[in-house]
Amino acid sequence: MNELLRALAESDREKEAPPEVEIRLKAAFRRKYKRRMWPYFAAAAMAAGMASFFVRVPKLQTMEIAVVTPPAPILRVAKAAPRKVVHRKQPQEVVTEFYPLMEDPPPFERGELLRVSLPAAAMRSVGVPVSEDRLAETVQADVLVGQEGLARAIRFVNTSVNRP
Amino acid sequence: MLSGDEEAFTALYRRRQGPVYRFALQMTGNVVIAEDVTQEVFMALLSKTAKFDPARGSLASFLYGIARNLVLRRIEKTAEIEDYAGPEDILDDLTRRETIEGVRRAVLSLPPVYREAVVLCDINDTSYEEAARALDCPIGTVRSRLNRGRSMLAQKLAVRSSV
């Protein structure tokens, strides 16, 4: 019997939750921490406002003083060499079409697009062919999350570099 | 992760989701439920992170514990899980794949209290101590449930070999 249970364990060894679960969890994680961060931003903004108020008040009470500016020294300035214009390589994104993740979604009212990193196996789950040896690679994707917090659609992003 | 580090959460999820998913799958025999349970386990972890106490046990047993509660709830209230109680239709074929599926059906036919002990200890190599934490019972209870589960399983599989 032990052998049979071992065989069952062996056959299940590679079984894992599909990539959609990771997408949904990441969306939930972002929603949670986005909400948790806003009080800090608000507090920081308030502190900045108060700081600028207190810094300004003493200025109103200061007395005018005469400032004597010494004459500027004469300096010889060497002619600057013409700058070499460097064309930096601009990253360019190529995106696929959106692939639906829900079969019968409720009407779309509003949502947000989340950029996530996923195993390439996620592409297979929506029907995009991926070779076996590249399944474990990480790909970038944009997930469209609807007003109800569910991942509705996904598109994959390829970041290539534009040659000047 | 507590400070909102998404990479840490992703790394944790990728490392831990496999055992949770397999546990739910082996307990229910249903991929949809296994997927739901896996998601709910990590959602619960997101909302209850502060409640995980490393002094009380490993993260693995904590996650199994959440998964177990979710699985039992689903078993109680859903008809999605087929009743595999009849041993006579288990393992009719001799091919390896069907043998494995037969063993899976035999495991699924065990009552949940014995099934979870067999799934954790015999299939997923969880220690008695970890299983006891996940199942929220003493180690002795895990041992006795495991023994009972094994003998029930042996009976079901013996029926097959005698057919």
Tens digits of residue pLDDT in B16-42: 999 999 999 999 988 999 999 999 999
Nearest to B42 by CA among B78, B67, B6, B19: B67
Round to whole Å and give the CA distance between B45 and B50: 9
**In whole numbers, what is the pLDDT of chain B averaged over residues?**
84
Q: Which residue has the tokens 């969890």?
A: A25
Q: What is the per-residue pLDDT for A35? A: 56
Secondary structure element (H or E) that encloses residue A100, with its range: strand A99-100
Average pLDDT of the residues in B45-60: 78
Provide the number of CB pairs (under 8 Å) joining chain A to chain B: 83
Q: What are chain B's domains? A: 1-81 (1.10.1740.10), 86-163 (1.10.10.10)
Distances (CA, A) of A131 to A98, A124, A135, B18, B44: 21, 9, 7, 22, 35
Q: What is the per-residue pLDDT for A26? A: 86
pLDDT classification of B81: cutoffs 50, 70, 90: low
Round to whole Å and give the CA distance between A50 and A43: 10
Q: Is residue A78 part of a domain?
A: no
Query: B13 touching A, CB under 8 A?
Result: yes
| Domain total in chain A | 1
ipTM surpassing 0.90: no
More confident site: A103 or A48: A103
Q: Which domain holds residue A39?
A: 18-61+89-161
Nearest to B14 by CA among A135, A21, A84, A113: A21
B105: number of Cβ within 10 Å: 18
Of B21, B42, B125, which is closest to A25 when you measure between CB atoms? B42
Q: What is the per-residue pLDDT for B48? A: 64
**Reported pTM:** 0.59
Q: Is residue A45 part of a domain?
A: yes
Query: B18 touching A, CB under 8 A?
Result: yes
Q: Kindly determine whether residue A22 and residue B153, on different chains, have CB atoms separated by under 8 Å.
A: no
DSSP state of A135: T
Round to whole Å and give the CA distance between A104 and A47: 47
Tens digits of residue pLDDT in A71-122: 555 555 555 566 666 666 666 778 888 888 877 777 777 778 888 888 888 8
Q: Is residue A70 part of a domain?
A: no
